[in-house]
């Protein structure tokens, strides 16, 4: 349709517009390349956000858009360095811009970041950021910076954190091409931060007093719930949770999700920033205890679950298990189809994860797990799973 428009351009107009490089007004095949970056805001140990830092917008979609009629002239993706090259049929010198979209149709990274229509509250549209206008064919190198101030930087940070998640999936879970995940966020969104089972939707706060769009820990925590949903196992009954002892199934799910966030952010410290100071939790330095004579079905803290998983996955240091995080994460697909024992709390909880650990890995780590779980945190795990009794 756009080509038909070009054909009827008066020749005199094309001649009159001749200018730079002799291509002004000339239909032709042109290209533009450059780097797309977005302004990230680091979550500081103080639970405040740091100043904006430009980083590559990796693996996003980009398009060349004609300014006069909004036609899409070319589409493509950025690479790991945020670089793109787009080739398009257009008119030399016509006004165009590059549109950056936090979405990927790569089956290995099926991510889209959307916003809710502010009028209807229902429609879910992709975020997008339009770069500055330039002249097609005359400008051949064009970079785009998605600023934090534009209100779109956060959408690209959410996308980028989910790229880290997706790129971990094959090694951690032996899964390729997981189901698409959608993140819903926009400046001002106030319906909470949570994951919607079944819809594969991550909802994130965008309030001025507490946004989560730059809180990589929080984004990765919600992605942990996505992993449980589509790859692993959860019987999380939902509800409020704050680290105090709670339903073991809730504690398992939230504790795993926080552990997953520590792995994805490559940091033992979980940070949820807020304008006036947020929340941090150190999964390695903290020690949260259960009740030694409370039984294996007792209410437990999600923090204790996170700490145990972290000690199982990290190297030697403050615990005797020289582990790998991928070995701990691999429990999720294993547990998805495992038969859980009826003892303790029915449904997926820490006891079932430990049972699965020994079935999957053998009993060599019995003594180390005893130290991490029973001696350090007083949780009275009974080593009563299907793998059989541990050596005394």
Give the C-alpha distances (Å, rounded to integers) separating 201 from 122, 204, 212: 14, 10, 15
With CB under 5 A as the rule, give the number of residues binding Ca ion.
14
Distance of CA 344 to the CA centre of its chain: 33
Determine the number of helices (DSSP H) and then strands (DSSP E) in the chain. Answer: 10, 16
Q: Does position 321 bind Ca ion by CB under 5 A?
A: yes
Nearer to Ca ion, 201 or 207 (CB): 207
Among 63, 352, 365, 376, binds Ca ion (CB under 5 A): 352
DSSP string, 254-313: HHHHHHHHHHHHT-SEEEE--TT--EEEETTT------TTS-TTS-B-HHHHHHHHHHHH
| Nearest CA among 311, 291, 293 for reference residue 301 | 291
Nearer to Ca ion, 222 or 272 (CB): 272
We find the least distance from the C-beta atom of residue 203 to Ca ion, in angstroms, to be 13
The position carrying tokens 């699965």 is 356
Nearer to Ca ion, 57 or 218 (CB): 218
Nearer to Ca ion, 76 or 333 (CB): 333
Nearer to Ca ion, 165 or 321 (CB): 321
- Interatomic CA distance for residues 131 and 21, integer angstroms: 23
Interacting stretch for Ca ion, rule CB under 5 A, among 33-41, 85-93, 165-173, 319-327? 319-327
Q: Does position 272 bind Ca ion by CB under 5 A?
A: yes
Interacting stretch for Ca ion, rule CB under 5 A, among 28-36, 71-79, 147-155, 349-357? 349-357
Among 37, 349, 358, 387, binds Ca ion (CB under 5 A): 349
DSSP string, 87-147: EEEEETT-EEEEEEESB---TTS-EEEEEE-TTTS--EEE--EE---EEBTTB-B--EEE-
Interacting stretch for Ca ion, rule CB under 5 A, among 47-55, 88-96, 345-353, 359-367? 345-353
Q: Does position 24 bind Ca ion by CB under 5 A?
A: no
Site for Ca ion in 185-244 (CB under 5 A): 210, 212, 215
- Interatomic CA distance for residues 150 and 131, integer angstroms: 11
Nearer to Ca ion, 104 or 376 (CB): 376
Residues within the interface to Ca ion (CB under 5 A): 210, 212, 215, 272-273, 311, 314, 317-319, 321, 345, 349, 352
């Amino acid at each position: 349709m756009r080509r038909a428009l070009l054909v009827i351009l008066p020749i005199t107009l094309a001649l009159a517009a001749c200018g730079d490089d002799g291509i002004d007004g000339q239909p032709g095949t042109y290209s533009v390349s450059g780097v797309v970056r977005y302004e990230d805001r680091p979550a500081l140990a103080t639970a405040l956000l740091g100043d904006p830092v430009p980083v590559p917008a990796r693996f996003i979609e980009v398009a060349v858009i004609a300014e006069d009629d909004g036609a899409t002239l070319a589409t493509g993706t950025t690479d790991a360095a945020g670089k793109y090259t787009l080739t398009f049929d257009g008119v030399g010198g016509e006004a165009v811009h590059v549109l950056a979209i936090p979405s990927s149709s790569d089956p290995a990274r099926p991510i889209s970041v959307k916003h809710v229509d502010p009028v209807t509250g229902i429609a879910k549209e992709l975020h997008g950021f339009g770069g500055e206008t330039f002249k097609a064919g005359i400008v051949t190198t064009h970079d785009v910076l998605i600023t934090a101030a534009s209100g779109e930087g956060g959408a690209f940070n959410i996308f980028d954190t989910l790229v880290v998640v997706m790129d971990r999936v094959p090694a951690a879970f032996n899964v390729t091409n997981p189901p698409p995940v959608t993140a819903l966020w926009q400046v001002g969104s106030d319906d909470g931060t949570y994951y919607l089972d079944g819809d594969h939707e991550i909802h994130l706060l965008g309030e001025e007093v507490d946004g989560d769009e730059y809180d990589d820990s929080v984004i990765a925590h919600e992605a942990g719930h996505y992993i449980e949903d589509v790859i692993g196992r959860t019987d999380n009954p939902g509800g409020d949770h704050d680290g105090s002892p709670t339903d073991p199934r809730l504690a398992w799910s939230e504790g795993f999700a926080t552990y997953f966030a520590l792995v994805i952010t490559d940091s033992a410290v979980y940070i949820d920033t807020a304008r006036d100071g947020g929340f941090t939790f150190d999964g390695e330095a903290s020690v949260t205890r259960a009740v030694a004579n409370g039984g294996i079905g007792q209410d437990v803290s999600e923090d204790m679950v996170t700490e145990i998983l972290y000690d199982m996955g990290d190297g030697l240091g403050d615990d005797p298990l020289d582990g790998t995080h991928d070995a701990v994460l691999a429990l999720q697909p294993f547990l998805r189809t495992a038969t859980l024992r009826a003892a303790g709390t029915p449904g997926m909880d820490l006891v079932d994860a430990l049972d699965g650990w020994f079935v999957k890995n053998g009993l060599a780590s019995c003594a180390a797990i005893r130290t991490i779980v029973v001696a350090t945190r007083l949780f009275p795990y009974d080593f009563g799973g299907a793998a059989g009794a541990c050596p005394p």
